[in-house]
């Protein structure tokens, strides 16, 4: 079974530039999450999709971050414009079950450095 695919693996940009990350979840997984993990901290939820609808985006900085999952499969996360404090690993995760039995499958992440 193929895992969660993310690209690019690494990205270096200057502040005020734009950047986009891509995620392809495990086939059949309806739920997709984007997390931001700053060095030394645990993952922080940015947005949760159920199919192509947004379930929770309460912690997404909507003035600069946007995400979409138009066909309910793969998803893109965009930052425009980037700030220095956006330097982090951006993790995508998917799951097939909701409720008690939900198990998350994570991608390898995209490591973003904003200079």
Partner 1 sequence: KNEVEQSPQNLTAQEGEFITINCSYSVGISALHWLQQHPGGGIVSLFMLSSGKKKHGRLIATINIQEKHSSLHITASHPRDSAVYICAVKNTGNQFYFGTGTSLTVIP
Q: By the criterion CB under 8 A, which residues form the site for partner 1?
A: 3-4, 33, 40-45, 56, 91, 93, 98-109
Q: How far is the CB of 95 from partner 1 (least distance, A)?
A: 10
Pick the closer one to partner 1 by CB: 82 or 94. 94
**How far, rounded to the nearest angstrom, does the alpha carbon of residue 62 sit from its chain's CA centroid?**
14
* Closest to partner 1 by CB, 14 or 56: 56
Q: What share of the chain is helix, strand, coil (3-state, %, to 5)?
A: 5, 50, 50
Facing residues of 11 across strands?
112
How near is the Cβ of 77 to partner 1 at its closest, in Å? 16
Least spacing, CB of residue 33 vs partner 1, in Å: 8
Q: Is 112 exposed, middle or buried (0-12, 13-18, 19+ CB in 10 A)?
A: buried
| Of residues 1 and 41, the one with the C-beta less far from partner 1 | 41
Contact 12, 113 (CB under 8 A): yes
What's the full length of the chain, in residues? 115
Instruction: Provide, rounded to whole angstroms, the least separation between the CB of residue 42 and partner 1.
Output: 3
């Amino acid at each position: 079974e193929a895992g969660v695919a993310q690209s690019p693996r690494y990205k270096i940009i200057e502040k005020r530039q734009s950047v986009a990350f891509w995620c392809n979840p495990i086939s059949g997984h309806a739920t997709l999450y984007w997390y931001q993990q700053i060095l030394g901290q645990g993952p922080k939820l940015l947005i949760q999709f159920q199919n192509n609808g947004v379930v929770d985006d309460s912690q997404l900085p909507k003035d600069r971050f946007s995400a979409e999952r138009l066909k309910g499969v793969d998803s893109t996360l965009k930052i425009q414009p980037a700030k220095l404090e956006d330097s982090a690993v951006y993790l995508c995760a998917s799951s097939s079950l909701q409720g008690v039995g939900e198990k998350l499958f994570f991608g390898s992440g995209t490591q973003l450095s904003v200079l």
